[in-house]
């Protein structure tokens, strides 16, 4: 990670941030870069749990978090804060490896992703953009998102019928089940516990009136093909005598 002294601070109310990184030297480098650019750092920590607690207390504009933290990783921090208050913008700044990590971070609720290999001088401008409603992602990640969207088939993750009775999260679980994903893989992709995934699957089965994965996928395809309503089976009328 390379730090610098230059940065473009925008006019107006100072942007308030919290930094989370278990590497104290890295935290200091980021803090100095942001402060030189006029961004207020209200707190910093190397603990994931403390990051969540501090953000809930201070309600900053932006939380900049590493994936690699003590006692709770950055993805879980992101998920918890996104569920707590979506007005708190979360940007992941990490040295962690993994081609799918940026997409997983965005799925968890982050609005930006930076690699520590990038110039740190670009971070202040990105954070101001995030506060103003912009995403802070690279062109490469943007292309990955486009390609991911383009490869989603209508059967796997088409438009979600308004009257289906399933929640957005239940549709997400169902779409992943349609790809053959295991419970563990669904949990990892959606940043949920396995028990939570099992609960969603049970609810999907109950709402669709099915008892297996294949039957649920078939029902989902039918819902998308018609009007999106879950219909109870009709009894046959007795023959007229």
pLDDT surpassing 80 at residue 226: no
Instruction: Lowest mean pLDDT of 4-18, 85-99, 106-120, 146-160, name the range.
Output: 146-160
pLDDT surpassing 90 at residue 97: no
pLDDT surpassing 60 at residue 232: no
- Exposed / middle / buried, residue 97 (Cβ in 10 Å: 0-12, 13-18, 19+): exposed
Q: Which of 129, 135, 102, 107 is nearest to 117 (CA)?
A: 102
For domain 16-139, the CATH architecture is: 3-Layer(aba) Sandwich (3.40)
DSSP single-letter state for residue 12: S
What is the DSSP track for 59-111?
A: --SEEEE-S--BSS-HHHHHHHHHHH-TTSEEEEEE----TTHHHHHHHHT-S
At 100 the pLDDT is 80
Q: What are the extents of the domains in the chain?
A: 16-139, 154-225
2, 119 contact by CB (below 8 A): yes
Instruction: Report residue 206 as tokens.
Output: 């109950």
Helical axes 168-178 vs 183-190, angle rounded to 10°: 130
Phi, psi of 224 (to 5 degrees): -75, -25
For 164-203, what is each residue's pLDDT tens digit? 688 888 888 988 888 888 899 898 888 888 899 999 999 9
211, 205 contact by CB (below 8 A): yes
Proportion of the chain above pLDDT 90, given as a percent: 43
The Cα 74–Cα 229 span in angstroms is 38
Residue 209: CB atoms within 10 A of its CB come to: 13
Looking at per-residue confidence, does 4 or 14 come out higher? 14
At 113 the pLDDT is 92
Query: In this structure, which CATH number among 1.10.15.40, 1.10.10.10, 2.60.120.890, 3.40.50.300 belongs to the domain 154-225?
Result: 1.10.10.10
The residues, ordered by sequence, that sit 6+ positions from 10 with a Cβ below 8 Å of its Cβ are 128
């Amino acid at each position: 990670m390379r730090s610098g002294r230059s940065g473009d601070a925008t006019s107006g109310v100072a942007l308030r941030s919290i930094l989370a990184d278990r590497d104290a030297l890295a935290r200091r480098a980021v803090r100095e870069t942001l402060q030189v650019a006029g961004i207020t750092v209200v707190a910093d920590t190397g603990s994931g749990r403390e990051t969540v607690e501090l953000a809930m207390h201070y309600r900053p504009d932006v939380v900049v978090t590493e994936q690699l933290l003590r006692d709770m990783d950055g993805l879980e921090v992101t998920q918890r804060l996104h569920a707590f208050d979506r007005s708190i913008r979360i940007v992941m700044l990490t040295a962690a490896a993994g081609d799918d990590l940026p997409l997983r971070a965005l799925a968890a609720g982050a609005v930006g992703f930076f690699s520590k290999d990038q110039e740190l001088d670009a971070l202040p401008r990105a954070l101001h953009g995030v506060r103003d409603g912009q995403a802070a992602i690279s062109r490469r990640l943007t292309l990955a998102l486009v390609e991911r969207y383009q490869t989603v088939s209508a059967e796997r993750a088409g438009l979600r019928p308004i009257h289906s009775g399933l929640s957005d999260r239940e549709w997400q679980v169902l779409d992943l089940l349609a790809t053959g994903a295991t419970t563990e893989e669904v949990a990892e992709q959606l940043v949920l516990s396995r028990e939570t995934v099992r609960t969603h699957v049970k609810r999907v089965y109950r709402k669709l009136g099915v008892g297996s994965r294949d039957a649920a996928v078939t029902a989902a395809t039918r819902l998308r093909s018609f009007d999106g309503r879950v219909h109870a089976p009709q009894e046959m009328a007795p023959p007229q005598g």
